[in-house]
Amino acid sequence: MLDGKLSVLCFGAHPDDCDFRFGGAAMLYRQLGHRVKFVSLTNGDTGHYSMGGGPLARRRRDEALASARIADIEYEVIDIHNGELQPDVRTRLVVIRLMRETRADLVLCHRANDYHPDHRAVGTVVQDAAYTVTVPNVAPLTPHLERAPVLGYFQDGFQLPNPFVPHVAIDTDSVFERKIDMGDCHASQVYEWMPYNGGILDQVPTDAAARRAWFAERHTRRFAAVADAARETLVRLYGEEHGQAVRTAESVMISPYGRSLPPSEYRALFPFLPELP
């Protein structure tokens, strides 16, 4: 922690992953003056049905930067081809450098059990970097961290080999309209690729306002389901009345592969959580 401000670093596989999974929490950190950086470890250049390569990579980078302006965060897109991310030493060194340069207190990423090979690669490479970031002779030109960051995982619904556990759940109701605006920036994904891939492209409205409303309804349902799945955690962290009233949430599973974070210290890294009597 520098100057009393936390440094939160999120790694996604593609230039919208962090936005959907942690965009609300990112804005809550920024409201308190903490530093947040999102990183996409690929350029997303295959994530479409009618365009690709350099034009798509540049479009997706621009979408990510537009989303970052809404959240008031830093965003970096690494120029690795979509679908080709490998949890190898070269990629690990990129992750180590970013952890060190940001002096990360909290690092978030996908879990290594996931449907997408790029997501799995992110989970593995970040996990592999979480300890070696403290070793001076690994990537020695970037000063090492004296202690490892806490490592957490974005929410997912995968059950094998083990299900996601919502150790921390975050009320995003106060920032959810802005989170919808962040998602709306990723037009190539939320209005084109994902509906095409899901067989519902014909359901996407053409009018901009109607299109945003269509996305907002689907996005709200998605994160209402996250809140319901983490309801017990919300009640524990926010109290019975507040926890039961939360409509939309994001959640985090604390990894055993980073620095230990006992429940009594959750509020130190998630300072927007209320102090309960």
Class of domain 7-169+250-269: alpha beta
pLDDT at 2: 66
Is 126 within 8 Å of 89 (Cβ atoms)? no
Q: Please list the ranges in the chain whose pLDDT falls under 50.
A: none
- What six digits make up the tokens of 60? 């997706």
Residues in the chain: 277
pLDDT at 1: 66
Q: What digits encode the pLDDT tens for the residues 217-269?
A: 999 999 999 999 999 999 999 999 999 999 999 999 999 999 999 998 999 99
pLDDT of residue 129: 96
What pLDDT is attached to residue 194? 96
**Radius of gyration (C-alpha) of the chain in whole angstroms:** 18
Specify whether the CB–CB gap between 189 and 180 falls below 8 A: no
Q: What is residue 234's predicted lDDT score, i.e. its pLDDT?
A: 98
Buried b (16+ CB within 10 A) or exposed e, 185-220: bbbbbbbbbbbeeeeeeeebeeeeeebbebbbeebb
